[in-house]
Structure 1
Amino acid sequence: MKRNATGSIALETLLGWIICGKPHSSPSEEARVLLTKEIEAMGITPDDDVAPEDTRMMERFEKSLSFNGERYQVGLLWSEGQPDLPVNVKQAMRRLTTVERRLAQ
């Protein structure tokens, strides 16, 4: 366990080091560099080869993202409009009749 001047504590766990303490409004440049190095050491790197579909979805996400003063709201990314659904009134009526018959028995 290590403690620094700001009151933060670094603990070594089975999974690696973790930092505990009060969050600061903006992390120092040194902490960002250290975190970036740790992430890269785990094998997580920025993905430069982003699929066009992923890029399009990120754009849709960013366009639909809004904050209403209390929480964030995001539109459905896979919904591009009203789908053309077939008319299934006859099928629904048959199912209703079947269920009614079963309940009557």
Structure 2
Amino acid sequence: MRFYECTFIIRQDLPAQDVHKLSEKYKGVVEKTGGQVIKKEYWGLRSLAYEIKKNKKGHYIFFGLKATPETITKVENDFKISEDVIKFLTIRVDRIDEKPSLMMQTPSETEK
């Protein structure tokens, strides 16, 4: 199995409760196909750099995954057919860092 970092953006008009349900759904897809979600972070409702599908903001979700390429293909296909996911990016990495990502750290932690 390989390590991946997957970030996806969910449209702005969904309430936070539905966003968390969607992230649990995708976590379930990963686990059902033999993968493992090592790290999960909700980065909040953030402004997009440019408008995507008439959305100016989006809910950002980050997963650190240990999975096979087939699992990643299945998850990305689910992202593509979902009307709620407006953008996603999955990259392969050497390892998943257990510390919070830069998006989750406070400004005092990043200055160290």
Shorter-chain TM-score bucket reads under 0.3
- Larger RCO: 1 or 2 (CA < 8 Å, sep 6+): 2
Structure with the bigger percentage of strand: 2
Structure with the bigger percentage of helix: 1
Structure-2-length-normalised TM-score: 0.24
Bigger Rg over Cα: 1
Structure-1-length-normalised TM-score: 0.25
